[in-house]
Amino acid sequence: MSLRLQINLLIAVLLGLLSALLVGLQVENTRRSVHEEVVGANLVASQLLSRVQWVYGYGGLQGMQEFLQGVGRVRANDISLLDAEGRPLYRSPPSPYKAGREAPAWYARIVSPPLAAREIALPSGRLLLQADPSRAALDGWDELCPLLAAVAAGFVLANAAVYLLVGRALKPLRALLQGLQAMEDGRYQTRLAGMAGREGRLISQAFNRMAQAVQDSAAARRQADEAAQALAANREQARRLHERIEQERGAIARELHDELGQQITAIKSAGMIIRRHLDRQGLPADSALQQSVRLVLGCADAIYAGMHRLVARLRPLALDQQGLAEALQDLQGDWGLSHPEVAVSLQCEGPLEALDGAVCAASFRIVQEAVNNALRHARPRHVEVRLHSDRHQLALQVEDDGQGRLEDLNRPGHFGIAGMRERVRSLGGRLDFRRSRHGGIALRACLPLTHPEEALSCV
């Protein structure tokens, strides 16, 4: 039900109650008037007839009948003369006032007072006096009918006027409703024209401000969605790029290990055979040929060791064969050999063996780069590496007690840190640096294992 119809129904009910009150007052006034007239007429007739004993004494019932016929009708009363056996001898004639018309029975019952008949006893008969309010009730009805017509006409006209005025007053609300429906349909450029009246002007101004705010918010949300899509595409592209780089590194590492390693082994085997042959021939150790054989064997050993270091940097074979924890342990052993003065501790918690290949590679490279940076630049005495994984994320931390400063990390030229950030960003994770509790720098990284939003819960 519309607001306009509700207001009209409410006002119609109020007008109806007012009309009913007016009609009720009119009916009550008529009832009082009828009561006063009938009671007064009945009292006058009773006083008149109570003094007719002398008429009866002079002429008997016959004289009383002649007297009553001469008197005729006494206002709003019916007079009947009965003999001793109750037979009617006389009844007053009907009233000539508005003859042939009667008020509705229900209306007459409302306005007519319930008066009992009066009886005057005579020696040989009796007089009955009955009040007759029909003429007074008819007068009241004739007065009520024009009032009912006026009330009905006023009721209809008032409701029509109220309907028109309410429609005009609610015109700003209809315009507001149309504007809201347009906003709901996504037409955020909708604006309301200036409406008449102070309230209409305030409504249009408030709506236009709201519509502008919604339009700006929608535009900002659309730009944010586009930026998020672009960021997701960039992350996916970076992730695939890093995967491709790791695949190429792994292929190069395997090629070096398999092909170059076999060739170096073959060269070393040939050198050993030549040296044994020279030894059997008794050539002195300081001969040019013996020195050449030792040079070949030394170069083969050096190339083989350099190849192993290069393979480890390109793609540690343990990462593919045994998993992240074992690859980090091998890396820890290498650090122990190259920097015996620094204690590097490693702590791994959680099911690291089930991690995705991209997450394993990124985690290994981040730990490798962070520890190498600390060993090269911070001169620490102790470096702690901790990894913890659960169903949702992998958290890793590298913390040292060296002399590194956070402000130095933002200076140009730190390509390793930029690479770490890019790796973490490509996987939807988060990376930050803070002051270590030991005085150095603490790296904290969080890599989601399910959805990128999981990284926001990293501490």
Instruction: Tell me the per-residue pLDDT of 159-181, one tens digit each, with 9 for 90 and over.
Output: 888 888 877 777 777 777 778 88
Q: Which of 32-41, 365-374, 381-390 has the weakest average pLDDT?
A: 32-41
Its pTM surpasses 0.95: no
Residue 224 confidence class, pLDDT cut points 50, 70, 90: confident
Given a contact cutoff of 8 angstroms between Cβ atoms, the answer to whether 79 and 118 are in contact is: no
Instruction: Tell me the per-residue pLDDT of 27-41, one tens digit each, with 9 for 90 and over.
Output: 888 888 877 777 776
Domain locations in the chain as residue ranges: 3-169, 321-459
Give the Cβ contact number of residue 340 at 10 Å: 8
Closest CA to 12 of 149, 173, 161: 161
Q: Check residue 227 and give its pLDDT.
A: 81
Residue 6 confidence class, pLDDT cut points 50, 70, 90: confident
d(CA 3, CA 386) in angstroms, rounded, equals: 68
CATH code reported for the domain at 321-459: 3.30.565.10
Instruction: Tell me the per-residue pLDDT of 424-444, one tens digit each, with 9 for 90 and over.
Output: 888 888 999 999 888 889 999
d(CA 349, CA 52) in angstroms, rounded, equals: 132
HSE, side-chain direction, 13 A CA sphere, residue 135: 16
Instruction: Tell me the per-residue pLDDT of 40-80, one tens digit each, with 9 for 90 and over.
Output: 766 666 666 666 655 555 567 777 777 777 777 766 777 88
DSSP 96: -
Closest CA to 398 of 412, 419, 384: 384
Closest CA to 367 of 459, 251, 445, 457: 445
Q: Which residue has the tokens 């129904």?
A: 9
Secondary structure (3-state) at 387: strand
Question: CB-based burial of residue 196 (10 Å sphere; 0-12 exposed, 13-18 middle, 19+ buried)?
Answer: exposed
Instruction: Tell me the per-residue pLDDT of 177-194, one tens digit each, with 9 for 90 and over.
Output: 778 888 778 787 788 777
Instruction: Tell me the per-residue pLDDT of 235-279, one tens digit each, with 9 for 90 and over.
Output: 677 667 766 776 676 677 667 766 777 777 788 788 888 878 877
Secondary structure (3-state) at 119: strand
Q: Strands 382-389, 343-349: parallel, antiparallel or unpaired by DSSP? A: parallel
